Amino acid sequence: MMRMRKRLMTVLAHAFLVVCLLVSVVPAFMLLAVSFKPTAIFISPPEILSLEGFGFGNYVRAFQLGDFVHHLRNSLFIAVSATVLTLVVCTTMAFGLSKLSPRVRSALTFLILSTRFVPYVVLALPFFLFFLTLGISGTRPGLLLAHLAMQVPFAVWLLVEFFDGVPREIEEAAIVDGCSPLRVYWNVSLPIVISGVSACAILVFILSWNEYLFAVFISGYEAQPLTVGITRFLGAMDTGTQYGVIAAYGSLIVLPVILLTLVLNRYIVSGLTAGAVKG
């Protein structure tokens, strides 16, 4: 009886995982299938999956009419810059917080993280007015500052646990040998938590790459990333939504993130796992 029950639970668990896999994979597959079909054929799933009308016209229109290269440059600049600056700021901040008493560290970390509890739509207008006063509204630096305000609290909260897991004996031995706090951070602690820093960098890059709300409110045309560029194909009452081109544009947006995740997946897993275990 127990064996039958275990077998049934195993079957149910595998069935649940299969359903989760389908829910995750099917929408992405349908998006890719639609991207190769003309808009007129976008009627039903069977017609989408057929080879009728298969072509690359949607991708050509996405590049030509969507100004794809311009928006790609903006997305790369914002995502890479936000990742680098976030790591520079947050690794040093997390290193300093990890040296405080557990009660003070927990209170400060929660206070920093609580800034992310505020919905971004509430912050969009104040950021716009603030950047307008500084003269950077609609520019890449303005959008980059908004991204840093969004990413820094998350990265600090994540990295504090990694630095807190560094054995104190190693740091104390380095101090006895004459290392300054900066050298302890750079030569001792940072190499130990490099897997966690790598995982944090990947997550920050993905969050910045996919960000949309701030890009709509704050960025002008010169700073608009891909997530805003795709909206030009939504159409109006007279033109209609160009589903095929949107699917092609969306596939090109998602592709770098998927490739990055597949290539660096082991760093994400090992980094987050290392953060769950104290040294």
* pLDDT of res. 42: 54
- Residue 24 forms part of a structural domain: no
- Residue 180 forms part of a structural domain: yes
SS3 219: strand
Q: What are phi and psi of 137, to 5 degrees?
A: -70, 135
Blockwise average pLDDT, block size 10, the chain, 279 residues: 80 90 83 77 63 80 86 93 94 90 87 83 86 88 91 91 87 86 89 87 91 87 89 67 84 86 70 50
* pLDDT of res. 277: 45
- Residue 148 forms part of a structural domain: yes
- Residue 34 forms part of a structural domain: no
> CA–CA separation, 217 vs 150, rounded Å?
14
Classify residue 57 as exposed, middle or buried by CB count within 10 Å of its CB (0-12, 13-18, 19+). middle
Q: Residue 75's domain spans which residues?
A: 58-274
- Residue 38 forms part of a structural domain: no
* pLDDT of res. 40: 52
- Residue 1 forms part of a structural domain: no
Token pair recorded at residue 185: 């951070």
- Residue 3 forms part of a structural domain: no
Q: What is the CATH number of the domain that holds 145?
A: 1.10.3720.10
Name the pTM for this structure: 0.83
* pLDDT of res. 83: 94
* pLDDT of res. 137: 84
Dihedral angle of Cα 149, 153, 158, 159, to the nearest 10 degrees: 80
Per DSSP, helices labelled H in the chain are 2-35, 45-49, 57-65, 68-97, 102-113, 120-134, 140-164, 168-176, 181-183, 190-192, 194-210, 213-218, 226-229, 243-263, 265-274
Token pair recorded at residue 268: 């994400």
Check: CB of residue 39 under 8 Å from CB of residue 244: yes
* pLDDT of res. 90: 93
How many domains, the chain?
1
- Residue 224 forms part of a structural domain: yes
* pLDDT of res. 16: 92
